[in-house]
């Protein structure tokens, strides 16, 4: 079995698992050794991005998405869940209630939460904390980005596919900021995480 086929099988299996638990999926660009490619002649994006230009209308599973290329697995947010993305320094000390947590190869932590609650003003005003909800998406393991693989810190299976309340996770993030240094409440720890992904 060649590497391409192995990766296609891994991505397809992961996508089917997500859909089986009610999480919509869509294909993203695949890492071709240099950049995230999608083979669309009109697409110039090089970072992680959806393959389908009208992706918001195609958030179901299609077997043939992974027939030829090891497309990454992207999870549209605002449907089954929302997500809160924070810098590594914050994420690594957050004492949040049990829930799935993704870590990107650049070190950003993404907490999956029940949908529907906006960020508290103290978090929404920060440039380094991003809420992913309707109209956004996140990369899911075992997606491989140019910097390396996306991985689970806490898998959905470990928590029985349950999602924590967003206000509890936000309170835990604020607690982490205070624990690190009270002055962090007034200044960002890094560049805005969502700018890493090309939401197109």
Give, as one character, the DSSP assignment of residue 119: P
Produce one character per residue of 19-48: b if its CB has 16 or more CB atoms within 10 Å, e if not: eeeebbbbbbbbbeeeebbbeeeebebeeb
SS (H, E, C) 35-102: CEECCCCCCCCCCCCECCCCHHHCCCCCHHHHCCCCCEEEEECCCCCEEEEECHHHHCCCCCCCCCEE
Distances 95 to 34, 67, 90, 110 between C-alpha atoms, Å: 36, 40, 10, 13
pLDDT band at 42 (very low <50, low <70, confident <90, very high): confident
Tokens of 197: 């992904």
How far, CA to CA in Å, does 82 sit from each of 12, 13, 185?
Answer: 23, 23, 23
Q: Which domain holds residue 117?
A: 3-196
Task: Specify the pairing of strand 30-31 against strand 130-132.
Answer: unpaired
Residue, of 189 and 52, whose pLDDT is higher: 52
| 26 DSSP β-pair partners | 74
The CA angle 56-7-161, to the nearest 5 degrees, is 55
DSSP character for 127? S
Task: Pick the range with the lowest mean pLDDT from 8-17, 59-68, 95-104, 144-153.
Answer: 59-68
104-160 pLDDT per residue, tens: 999 999 999 999 899 999 999 998 999 999 999 999 999 999 999 999 999 999 999
**pTM for the model:** 0.88
pLDDT-derived band at 31, boundaries 50, 70, 90: very high
Beta-strand (E) ranges in 99-189? Answer: 101-103, 109-113, 130-132, 137-140, 144-145, 148-149, 151-154
Query: Cα–Cα distance between 41 and 199 in angstroms, integer?
Result: 18
Alpha carbon 66 to chain centroid, angstroms: 19
Which pLDDT band, with edges at 50, 70 and 90, does 171 fall under? very high
How many domains does the chain fold into?
1
| pLDDT band (50, 70, 90) for residue 58 | low
């Amino acid at each position: 079995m060649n590497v391409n086929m192995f990766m296609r099988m891994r991505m397809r299996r992961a996508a089917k698992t997500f859909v089986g638990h009610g999480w919509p999926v869509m294909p993203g660009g695949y890492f071709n050794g240099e950049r995230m490619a999608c083979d669309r002649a009109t697409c110039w994006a090089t970072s992680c991005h959806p393959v389908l230009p009208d992706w918001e209308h195609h958030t179901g599973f299609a077997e043939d998405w992974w027939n030829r290329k090891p497309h990454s697995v992207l999870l549209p947010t605002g449907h089954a869940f929302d997500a809160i993305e924070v810098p590594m320094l914050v994420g690594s000390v957050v004492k949040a209630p049990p829930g799935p947590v993704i870590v990107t190869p650049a070190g950003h932590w993404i907490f999956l939460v029940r949908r529907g609650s906006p960020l508290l003003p103290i978090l929404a005003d920060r440039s380094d904390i991003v809420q992913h909800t309707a109209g956004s998406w996140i990369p899911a393991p075992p997606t491989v980005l140019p910097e390396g693989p996306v991985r689970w810190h806490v898998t959905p299976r470990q928590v029985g596919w349950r999602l924590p309340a967003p206000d509890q996770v936000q309170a835990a993030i604020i607690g982490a900021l205070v624990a690190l240094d009270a002055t962090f409440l007034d200044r960002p720890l890094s560049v805005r995480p969502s700018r890493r992904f090309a939401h197109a």
